[in-house]
Amino acid sequence: MAETIRVQMMGSFAVYVDELRMDTQLGRSRKSVSLMELLVLEQGAPVSNARVYSTLWADESAGNPEAALKTLVSRMRQAMNGVAPGFGACIVSDRGAYHWECPANVSVDALEIMELLDALEGNLPEAERRRDMNRLLSLYTGDLLQFSESEDWLMARKTALHNRYMAAVYAWLDELERQGADEEVCAVCRTALEIDRFDDRLHMALIDALVRLNRAGDAMTQYNHAIRLNTRYLGVQPSEALREYYGRITRMSLRLEDDMERIRGELEETEAGEGATVCEYGAFKEICSMLMRNLERLHVSTFLGVVTLLNVGEEPMDSIRQDDRMNALLEILRCSLRRSDTVTRYSPNVAAFLLPTANYETGKQVMERIRGRFYRKCPSSDVRFDYRLTPLGGGSMLKDKM
């Protein structure tokens, strides 16, 4: 067996012989592939015949389980030998069990990853830790067999390996931050986010590194991307820790930025826009806090408005359609309100806005006008427009009459 054989189990299952994909025959039988996966993930330890059978035939029964298993192993070895001569010898028979054995010319990415994780969880010198971590990041191109059928035994292994990978990434990021290696922090975060794009800790570590690199614009872009992932794809409100990052970005970037002409230009560009300001909830909280302080000093009347889009159908609305309705509402609010007003998306189906120098009557007139525009834009809308108005700093709440 002279060819170099590489078995890929991270992301999708594949077998490469001298870097040519050659697993078409193997993939014809899901049980055969599952047999290989089960033996490989035991890292050479024997797996009893009874356990192999109960795992692969969990929902089936056979009159002669031993014969069924022997037939499966024989066919799998034959298929593997068809991929490369001698490859089938990787499945070794023990007394009442089977195990996986890798010759020198056969490698399995999942096995190498587990070995790397074992090493990284120990006390390695910094140079070796860096070498092993870089190798881990290059090998972990997707979760374990993430495109395979979700058998219970495989899901447990998949979750455990994912958690160990993320723990290694977090530990390495902590080390890089102590070293002040912010460019490398950015690279590691971006690589790990390809595996878990919803991980708040990775997003926040990346944002912090970008701010320390004086790249406040990139930090804000990353923040907005993380917020959208939560609201559009998960349909949930982002964590409080992530939402507070807007204020952190703003404060840190202002401390780092000493180019007054650039600041003035950005402010003038912002001032030139039309309609209300639409911002993330973190910025909305900062603006609201400032207005609350001004209320006491200047006696400014400011109202908080909240619009909720309620599902009127029997079936719950999917996140994509809900997001489309909310985007339409936000655009209507932006165009309908004044430049001094501020709008935010508080949650997947709730928008909030501030109306400085307003009162109940003018606020209600504004909201009725916005509701009319919403229904004209969405004439066959499957949601109901519901609003509330309340003065900041106390006072009763006004609810729309349906």
Coil vs helix vs strand at 274: coil
pLDDT of 148-181, one tens digit each? 665 777 888 899 999 999 999 999 999 999 999 9
Show me where the domains of the chain are located: 5-108, 110-256, 275-399
Coil vs helix vs strand at 155: helix
Please compute, for residue 261, the number of CA atoms within 13 A of its CA located in the half-sphere on the CB side: 0
Residues 57, 148, 110, 187, Cα dihedral to 10°: -160
Q: Write down the number of H helices and E strands in the chain.
A: 15, 13
Has residue 310 got a pLDDT over 90?
A: no
Tokens representing residue 375 in the block: 């229904």
pLDDT at position 299: 65
The domain defined by 110-256 carries CATH number 3.40.50.2000 = no
Fold match between domain 5-108 and domain 110-256: no
Classify domain 275-399 by CATH number: 3.30.70.270
> Structure pTM?
0.67
> 397: burial class by Cβ within 10 Å (0-12, 13-18, 19+)?
exposed
CA nearest to 168, candidates 213, 115, 210: 115
- Read off φ and ψ for residue 344, nearest 5 degrees: -145, 160
pLDDT at position 297: 64
| Cα gap 308→175, rounded to integer Å | 44
Candidate from 4-8, 22-26, 168-172, 254-258 with smallest mean pLDDT? 254-258
- Read off φ and ψ for residue 328, nearest 5 degrees: -65, -45
CA nearest to 331, candidates 400, 274, 266, 269: 274
Classify domain 5-108 by CATH number: 1.10.10.10
pLDDT of 199-218, one tens digit each? 999 999 999 999 888 887 78
Name residues whose C-beta falls within 8 Å of residue 320's C-beta, 6 or more positions apart in sequence: 232
> 261: burial class by Cβ within 10 Å (0-12, 13-18, 19+)?
exposed
Helix ranges (DSSP H) in 107-244: 109-120, 126-139, 152-179, 182-193, 200-212, 216-228, 240-243
Choose the most confident range, by mean pLDDT, from 86-100, 245-259, 326-340, 373-387: 86-100
Name residues whose C-beta falls within 8 Å of residue 258's C-beta, 6 or more positions apart in sequence: none
Q: How far is CA 359 from CA 325, 342, 354, in A?
A: 28, 16, 12
